Each structure stands twice: as C-alpha cells, then as structure tokens.
C-alpha cells in the first residue's frame, strides 16, 4: 500500500499521469491485495503446522514417559555442550588466524628492526673510528701545544737574556757617554 501512495505522490507531483501509469497502478494494487491475502493464508497454515508439531511432541513425551524425558534432557545437554564446544573451536580458530597474522607482522618487524640495528651498529663502529681519530688528533695537538709552550718559554728566557744584555749595553753606553761628556769639559 505504501508503494501505491509513493507512486501516487510521484505522479501527483507531475500533475499529469498518463493512462499507462494509471493502469499499471491498478494492476499493482490488485497484486498487493492478492499477495496480502496469500500471506495471511500462509500464516494460518504455519500456525496450524506449529500446533500440530507441539501436539506430536506432547504425544511422543506421553508415550516415552520419564525415560524419554531423561533421554531428551541428555540430548539437549549434549547439544548445548556441542554448541559451546563449537563456539570455543570457532574462537580458537579466530585466535589462531590472528596469531598467524601477528607472527607474520612481528617477523616483518623483527627483520626491519634487525636491518636498522645492523645499520646502527655500522654507524656506531664508524663513529667510534672517528672518535679514535679525533682522540689521536687531540693528543697530537696537546703534544704540539706543549712543545710550543716549551719553545715559547725558551724564547721568553732568550728574550729576557737579550733584554738584560741590551739593558747592560745601554747602561754601558750611557756610562760611556757620561764619561765622554765629562772628559770633554
């Protein structure tokens, strides 16, 4: 019925439904009514069949008595255990598949990390070599600085000696000049 209303609204919006559309709507309405009647009959038949099944089950239980009830109870219990076991199997299979995927993922990560570790170790070795070279270079520079410092001290001593000699020579020159000046007068 909703379908008919939607079609009606659609055609109403166009304001001019053609004769073919109107005829098709009438045919569809008849099919819907017919389908609804058939569905109602099928529901009645299904209800009747369900009642017959319940009646047969009741008769079977009456005939079998307590022994049948016991067996039925055992079967129901076993079915429940089987269902639980199937659920556990399904969970275990899902967990197993996830574990397989995780193993693959982790193996990939391990390989990637191993490659990164090897690269890092290579870089560390290179850096250690460079550090060794720098330590040797610094050691050589210290020796040169010590030598330069010693040479500078020696030069200072030599300079002090030369300055003392110069001071003595200047003092001698001044004394000589003073004598000359005194002798001249």
- Is pTM, for the whole model, over 0.75? no
> Which residues contact residue 21 at a Cβ distance below 8 angstroms, ignoring those fewer than 6 apart?
7, 11
Q: How big is the chain, counted in residues?
A: 185
Average pLDDT over every residue of 20-49: 86
Encode pLDDT of 7-19 as tens digits: 655 555 555 657 7
pLDDT of residue 5: 53
> Which tens digit of pLDDT belongs to each residue from 69-128?
788 788 889 999 999 999 999 999 999 999 999 999 999 899 889 989 999 999 999 999
Structure tokens at 27: 């045919």
106, containing H or E segment: helix 19-184
What is the Rg, in whole angstroms, of the alpha carbon atoms belonging to the chain? 57
Residue 56 near residue 46, CB atoms below 8 Å? no
> Of residues 20 and 65, which shows the higher confidence score?
20
Local structure of residue 4 (DSSP, 8 states): H
Question: What is the CB neighbour count within 10 angstroms for residue 7?
Answer: 17
């Amino acid at each position: 019925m909703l379908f008919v209303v939607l079609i009606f609204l659609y055609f109403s919006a166009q304001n001019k439904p053609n004769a073919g559309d109107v005829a098709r709507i009438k045919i569809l309405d008849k099919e819907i009514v017919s389908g609804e009647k058939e569905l109602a009959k099928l529901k009645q038949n299904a209800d009747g069949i369900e009642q017959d099944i319940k009646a047969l089950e009741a008769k079977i239980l009456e005939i079998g008595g307590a022994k049948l009830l016991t067996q039925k109870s055992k079967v129901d219990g076993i079915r429940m255990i089987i269902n639980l076991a199937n659920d556990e199997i399904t969970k275990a299979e899902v967990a197993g598949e996830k574990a397989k995927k995780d193993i693959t993922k982790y193996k990939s990560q391990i390989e990637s990390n191993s490659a990164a570790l090897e690269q890092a170790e290579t870089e560390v070795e290179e850096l250690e070599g460079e550090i060794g070279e720098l330590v040797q270079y610094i050691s050589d520079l210290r020796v040169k600085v010590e030598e330069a410092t010693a040479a500078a001290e020696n030069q200072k001593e030599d300079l002090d000696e030369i300055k003392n000699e110069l001071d003595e020579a200047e003092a001698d020159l001044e004394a000589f000049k003073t004598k000359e000046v005194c002798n001249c007068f």
